[in-house]
Structure 1
Amino acid sequence: MSLTSLPDERTHMQCTGERFIPEIDGDWTPEHKHRYALVAALCKGKDVLDVASGEGYGSAHLASVARKVIGVDISGEAVEHAQRAYKNPNLSYRQGSATDLAAAGLEENSFDVVVSFETIEHLHDHDAMLDSLCRVLRPDGLLIISSPDKREYTDIPNYHNEYHVHELYREEFEKLLSTRFPNINIYGQRLGYGSLIVAEATAPFVTIGEDENLAAITDHLAHAMYYIAIASHSSLPVLPHSFWKRNIERSDFAKHWMQMGKEAQDWINTLEARIEEQAEQIKALADEAAVCAQQLHLMTQSKSWKITKPLRAIFSFFRQLRR
């Protein structure tokens, strides 16, 4: 299954603003799809568990390369939707909590790869979640887990996500994982529109910031909004640098200003219509005034008007006397 395609004859789930819905395009689209597309190579031929699988699209994508994929989500509605929408012999979904996968019927040491994207910030008890994930992960298995960086996601923009109950700073995220795994690689992710130059040979990734200082060069992705960690007791695979190609016209920022432009143009059209309507009214009044002026001219030039002139003078004299 391609992440750019969707199953036929399906209805999408109601959008709460937090669970990703593929049919509703926005800045979250490349963020979510990029993660699954990048880690799919690590799941080839493996038994995979996708924790907090949501409406199911990510698990379905991994199932196209994995030996087996089970998607688990706390929402019964999400699980039922995924079961209807995505069908594959090696794919299944079940309801369960990330902090108690045993209750979902998942056995110990049963998965080569455990994936959990944007889940940990929704839980108060991070230790319980990690213990639950480690329980089902095989000794040489891979944990692939992501978390928003509290500094970039919340502190700097002064933003509050009502669905996030316990966010982590990057240092806290790495420290938490290090209590269970000796080997950890962390990758930064941030939505961006610009120019990307990547060496074909192995080379450091350099970020040059336009919005701060052109001389500010780092050896990593600066100001990552999300961190994706790969952790294991065995040696770690190295993910390549990657770029999810997307037209800037599809960004929320661009769509916002295009909508503002449309609304401004609609208002201009309304004003122009009003001006045209008022111009027509002015013309109609001017035409009516011209007709009245012509009628007055004809009347004052008529014989009857001239003959009755003395009578009008008498009437005027008596009106003045009454005053």
Structure 2
Amino acid sequence: MEFTGERFIPALSNAEDDIYYEHYNRYISIAEMAKEKYVLDAACGSGYGSGILADVATQVYGIDIDAEAIEYAQNTYAHKNLEFQTASVTEIPFEDDTFDIVISFETIEHLAEPSQQLFMDEIERVLKQDGILIMSTPDKELYSEKNLYNNHFHIKEFYEKEFYNFLRSRFKHVNFIYQRNEICNVISGHLCNDMKVIRKDYLDSSQGKYIIAICSQNELVEQKCASLQIHTGEYGKKIHRIIELQNEVEEKNKWAFSLDEEVENLRSIINDERTQFQSLQIQLQEKESLIQKQLEESKNKDESIQTLESNKEELLGEITQKQE
């Protein structure tokens, strides 16, 4: 299978990338809820999540509309209690009241609104009366708008309140848990078996990049679904990246300062040239004025010469008459 950037394929992804942690952690966090249950993984993709659930569930079925993904899942995540089928989430190929749990992670936003409603119809149909739906989707505000990001694979994303109302129109009880990345300080070693959580206030956070909804017609009870995965070396990578960005900023600042100096030099040259130009304009105006004055003097002289010529002609005429 080819990695497109949207469908998660563990074998083709870097184990240190966010996508790796985000996708795995969703299934790991709710695996305890699937223990000894009949589970449907709707839009299972490459099948890695169905494989995680099959380790604890009684039976898991994974469906996906992509035949290539299903073939890959069948060849990669074989379990005796796990079956994969090519099928659309709007036409789920199972009888009514079949599943204890239906899981659908990062699927609903890939459907247009009419198909979203058909998907929910099918979930309600195949889910037992006391069954549970676990569905995740990105929070449009945090995932897209805050980051100025547009995922061209997504058709209809939800704001948190909008997603809640969407699910509450189908289920009496809807509870949200949230997935996000945090920075943590870790103390560990080969003599340490248990890890203490010193601060738990982050567990009560009511916001996250991804919303994971737990829905049922029956009242929901407390579940073991909180999960923490350590991004090995992530803090060091972020510090390294910050230093790289700082160095880039310093280089750009130096470049900006050099441009400022060049601009100032150009301004100085322009000012000098402007002064010279103004001086030349003044000289030109003075010369034009002098030329105009000389032209006027020349005109006056021409007029005087014409007068003299006229007087000369008159005198010659008078002399000629007297001689006759």
Match of 1:20 among 2, 8, 17: 8
Indicate the SS of the match to 1:147.
strand
Report deviation, 1:118. Answer: 0.4
Q: TM-score, normalised by structure 2?
A: 0.66
Matches within 5 A, 1:176-191: 176-191=166-181
The equivalent residue for 1:234 is 218
Per the normalisation by structure 1, the TM-score is 0.66
Give 2:37's aligned residue: 46
Higher helix share: 2
1:118 and 2:106 equivalent?
A: yes
Aligned partners of 1:206 and 1:163: how far apart in 2?
34
Q: Which residue of 2 aligns with 1:284?
A: none
Please state whether the residue corresponding to 2:204 is helix, strand or coil: coil
Is the partner of 2:70 in helix, strand or coil? helix
- 2:145 matches 1:155: yes
C-alpha RMSD of the superposition? 2.6
Q: Tell me the percent identity.
A: 40
- Letter of the structure 2 residue corresponding to residue 233 of structure 1: Q
Retained in 2: the 8 A contact 1:189–1:221?
Answer: no
Distance 1:149 1:72, change over 3 A: same
Which of 87, 94, 112 is matched with 2:78 structurally? Answer: 87
Distance in 1 between residues matched to 2:8 and 2:182, nearest whole Å: 19
Using the alignment, how far apart are the partners of 1:89 and 1:47 within structure 2?
14
CA contact (8 A) 2:135 2:212 kept: yes
1:206 correspondence with 2:198: no
Q: Does 1:130 align with 2:120?
A: yes
Which letter does structure 2 place at the counterpart of 1:32?
A: H
Q: Distance in 2 between matches of 1:36 and 1:175?
A: 24
Give, in angstroms, the shift of residue 185 of structure 1: 1.1
What is the distance in 2 between the residues matched to 1:195 and 1:144?
30
Code of the aligned partner of 1:244: Q
Deviations 1:7-65 (A, max 9, x none): xxxxxx21000001112121111111111011111111110000010101100110111
Counterpart residue type for residue 248 of structure 1 = G
Give deviations 1:80-107, integer Å, cap 9, x for gaps. Answer: 1111111111101001111221xxx211
SS of residue in 1 equivalent to 2:10? coil
Unaligned runs of 5+ in 2: 187-195, 249-324
Secondary structure at the residue paired with 2:102?
strand
Instruction: Tell me the number of residue pairs that the alignment of Structure 1 and Structure 2 aligns.
Output: 231
> Structure 1 regions of 5+ residues with no counterpart?
1-12, 208-218, 265-323
Kept after mapping to 1: 8 A contact 2:28/2:227: no
Q: Secondary structure at the match of 1:115?
A: strand
Q: Which amino acid in the other structure matches residue 165 of structure 1?
A: I
